[in-house]
Amino acid sequence: MQSSGSGLFLTSNAIFLTRYAGLSPFQVGLGLAVAGLLGFTATVPLGRLADRIGAQPLLVAGYGTLAVLFVSYCFVGNFAAFVVVASLISICETSGSPHCADRGTVAPAQVKSRCKAPYGCIQVPWALDDCAAVTADHRSRIRLCWRYPSGSS
């Protein structure tokens, strides 16, 4: 569920930020890259915090904060505000990782394999869909370059 929601959000978010918030595609890409880097660097401190207070309180606080942060996207009007909001969202989404790790250590090996098997089966069609999309996009770009050799589309 979260993967589908994140995928839908990221595609519509890029359109929202470029058309309504007035950011350029470069600014959106750079902001998301900075946010991803900050989220990645927050994994160890958040893991240590989860060890101290427990994974569940961290997850609840992270998801509560995410609700407020996603609404705050409506008020993003410049690049700096976008980077702050996107970075905080990335850090809060990282807070779900300790909960998943905690769930994996508590369950016996047979339960873990039964729980993880459906996710692997779901990811195969997604990977095939991604390959088809990249191939279709690649072919359309080749056709555009052939029709418009100067690069203007």
- Break the chain into its structural domains and give their ranges: 2-106, 107-153
Give dist(CA 136, CA 9) in Å, integer: 22
Q: Where are the alpha helices (DSSP H) in the chain?
A: 2-19, 25-41, 43-53, 55-72, 79-94, 96-106, 109-147
The pLDDT tens digits for 97-119 are 554 554 555 555 555 555 555 54
**Tokens 């702050």 belong to which residue?**
84
> What is the token pair recorded at 81?
């505000």
| pLDDT of the residue at 68 | 93
> What is the token pair recorded at 100?
């998943």
Is-above-0.75 flag for pTM? no
The pLDDT tens digits for 136-153 are 555 554 444 444 444 444
Give dist(CA 100, CA 93) in Å, integer: 12
Q: 4, 36, 30, 1: which is closest to 17 by C-alpha?
A: 30
Give dist(CA 11, CA 122) in Å, integer: 20
